[in-house]
């Protein structure tokens, strides 16, 4: 009986290991895979504060402990490319790897995490002191360039009214692509509110295009945060948005300033650049 119970226990343990879809890699193998597969997506699942203090070169940050982890992963990661995750010591990233595997991603976890990586003297970088301009190099390089005719589109606002971008000709338009589930977007809202309050409404119109999946969530957030400018809902979501594709939006928030003639005069992922442009007009 004792032997049978032991065998059943071993079989169960083996089954648990075998069913684990993601793969654990030692630091050396993790580094070799990163070097050998340029399509690999490297993700640091620690908090933004931990990430800012130092991270693996080229890593993106999607906080495992944040409520929107699943949404951000689904929006920003490609299921056709491997995903390589790490955290401080390996526990959070193992949980994140399991979640990503369940979402259909091919996932690899760094055993021992950032601590093991640095203990072995491997390369890291610090991004906590990046200047805002650097973010455009990292995330906004593909945005439409100044002088480009802004692609026209039609969406509905939160009251169900149809809004056409070309119908705003004659005014400068500040166009913002965002979502309530995006922490970086939420962080820029105070700057947008300040710009809106300072602008002359006879000359400047603010338009936000949201990639939220639920319009009621969007309505509630806008009301609670006092965002009175034009709020449009793109039901396609970020990944499948034709408008986002037309505007080359790969990162949110992404912002444009469109001149009265309908041409792009500024494209950026940094709200302070938009503010500086408006101040200079």
Question: Range(s) for CATH 3.40.250.10 in the chain?
Answer: 2-119
pLDDT of 6 > 70? The answer is no
Fold of 132-280: Glutaredoxin (3.40.30)
Model pTM score: 0.58
Give the rounded distance of the alpha carbon of 63 from its chain centre. 11
- Assign a CATH topology to domain 2-119: Oxidized Rhodanese; domain 1 (3.40.250)
Tens of pLDDT along 59-107? 999 999 888 899 999 988 999 999 999 999 999 999 999 999 999 999 9
pLDDT at 267 over 90: yes
CATH 3.40.30.10 domain locations along the chain: 132-280
Q: Which residues are catalytic?
A: 87
pLDDT at 2 over 70: no
- Write the secondary structure of the chain as one string of H (helix), E (strand) and C (coil): CHHHHHHHHHHHHHHHHHHCCCEEECHHHHHHHHHHCCCCEEEECCCHHHHHHCECCCCEECCCCCCCHHHHHHHHCCCCCCEEEECCCCHHHHHHHHHHHHCCCCEEEECCHHHHHHHCCCCCECCCCCCHHHHHHHHCCCCCCCCCECCCCEEEECCCCEEEHHHHCCCEEEEEEECCCCHHHHHHHHHHHHHHHHCCCCCEEEEEEECCCCHHHHHHHHHHCCCCCEEEECCCHHHHCHHHHHCCCCCCCEEEEECCCCEEEEEECCHHHHHHHHHHC
Which of the four pLDDT bands, split at 50, 70 and 90, describes residue 32? Answer: very high
Q: With 80 as the cut, is the pLDDT of residue 12 above it? A: no
Which pLDDT does position 127 carry in this prediction? Answer: 65
pLDDT digit string (tens) for 189-244?
Answer: 999 999 999 999 999 999 999 999 899 999 999 999 999 999 999 999 888 899 99
Q: Given pLDDT bands bounded at 50, 70 and 90, which one contains residue 132?
A: very low
What is each CA distance from 214 to 171, 177, 219, 236, 272, in whole angstroms? Answer: 30, 16, 9, 11, 29
């Amino acid at each position: 009986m004792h032997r049978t119970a032991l065998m059943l226990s071993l079989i169960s343990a083996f089954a648990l290991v075998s069913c684990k879809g993601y793969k654990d890699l030692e630091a050396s193998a993790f580094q070799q895979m990163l070097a050998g597969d340029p399509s690999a997506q490297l993700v640091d699942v620690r908090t933004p504060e931990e990430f800012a203090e130092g991270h693996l070169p080229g890593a993106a940050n999607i906080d495992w402990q944040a409520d929107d982890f699943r949404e951000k992963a689904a929006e920003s990661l490609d299921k056709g490319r491997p995903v390589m995750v790490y955290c401080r010591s390996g526990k959070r990233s193992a949980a994140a790897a399991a979640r990503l595997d369940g979402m259909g991603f091919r996932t690899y976890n760094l055993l021992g995490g950032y601590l093991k990586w640095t203990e072995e003297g491997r390369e890291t970088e610090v991004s906590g002191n990046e200047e805002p301009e650097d973010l455009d190099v990292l995330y906004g390089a593909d945005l439409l360039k100044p002088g480009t005719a802004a692609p026209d589109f039609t969406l509905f606002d939160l009251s169900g009214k149809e809004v056409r971008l070309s119908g705003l000709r004659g005014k400068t338009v500040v166009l913002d692509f965002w979502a309530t589930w995006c922490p970086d977007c939420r962080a820029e809202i105070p700057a947008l509110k300040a710009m809106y309050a300072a602008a002359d409404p006879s000359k400047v119109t603010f338009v936000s295009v949201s990639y939220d999946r639920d319009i009621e969530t969007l309505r509630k957030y806008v009301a609670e945060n006092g965002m009175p400018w034009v709020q449009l809902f793109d039901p396609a979501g970020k990944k499948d948005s034709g408008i986002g594709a037309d505007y080359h939006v790969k990162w949110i928030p992404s912002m444009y300033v469109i001149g009265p003639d309908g041409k792009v005069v500024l494209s950026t992922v940094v709200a302070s650049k938009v503010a500086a442009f408006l101040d200079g007009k």
